Amino acid sequence: MGTVATHMSIKPGESIERSVDSVQGMYAVVIALAISEAIEILLKGVNGTADLSRRWLLSGMWAFVAFVFTLIPFWHGMNRHLDRCYLEKEGDVRRGAILLDLFVFFAEAGFLFAAGLSLRSGLTTFYCLGGLLFVDMLWALGSHWIHFRDKKSYSLRWSAINVIAMIVAFGVIKCNFGPRSLMIVAVLRTIADYWICRDFYFPAPKTK
């Protein structure tokens, strides 16, 4: 019997959906590793000696809270950005820009992984989170220029929020206020992010 060759046809629009799914999947792997490492270090700190547990509560726990509160909007925002720019956007969709998003998201995931890995290293976690905000600020400006250069966009709001958070965090470090104050900055940054960009994060359902 001869071999019957079957060919899968991809409908128009499905190719970009497959690309978006691939980027989201690869980003999810690194994020999952970051969370796993952070939780493992958290459990080691809590189950350590009394002195270690006390030092953990004074520094590592604040870093862990800042890590979680920063990771959540970055994960959520990445998925919404891909949907908004490549699946929901009408008109001129810059399909090739997804390659830039891929490299930047991997770099940001690397910062999150490093932040989770260094929870018990003093201010290192916060330095990693600061690097994350800086890279994201630059990317958001570039993303605005690529996708929404003649319009208002959530990308500009992201950049503004990150700049303000970095300035406040720098002041906290210079004044030696400590990890707890930096954790508060991280939490407030996320609250501001979700509040200012709430229409982007939680879009209203489309009506037929």
Domain ranges of the chain: 16-201
Mean pLDDT, to the nearest integer, of 3-18?
Answer: 54
Is the confidence at residue 187, as pLDDT, over 70?
yes
Of 8-17, 169-178, 185-194, which gets the smallest average pLDDT?
8-17
| pLDDT for res 207 | 53
Of 19-28, 113-122, 149-158, which gets the smallest average pLDDT?
19-28
For the residues of the chain, what is the DSSP string, one character each?
Answer: -PPPP------TTHHHHHHHHHHHHHHHHHHHHHHHHHHHHHHHHHTS-HHHHHHIIIIIHHHHHHHHHHHHHHHHHHHHHHIIIIII--S---GGGHHHHHHHHHHHHHHHHHHHHTTTSTTHHHHHHHHHHHHHHHHHHHHHHHH-TTS--HHHHHHHHHHHHHHHHHHHHHTT--HHHHHHHHHHHHHHHHHHTHHHHSPPPPP-
Is the confidence at residue 201, as pLDDT, over 80?
yes
Q: What is the pTM of this model?
A: 0.83
CA distances to 41, 43, 75, 130, 135 from 64, rounded to whole Å, are 9, 11, 16, 14, 21
Q: How far apart are CA 103 and CA 82, in angstroms?
A: 13
Residue appearing with tokens 């006390």: 54
Quick: pLDDT tens for 30-71. Answer: 888 889 888 888 777 655 444 445 555 566 788 999 999 999
Confidence of residue 135 (pLDDT cuts 50, 70, 90): very high
Of 27-31, 112-116, 169-173, 203-207, which gets the smallest average pLDDT?
203-207
Indicate the average pLDDT of the chain: 83
| pLDDT for res 91 | 66
| pLDDT for res 11 | 54
Q: How far apart are CA 173 and CA 88, in angstroms?
A: 41
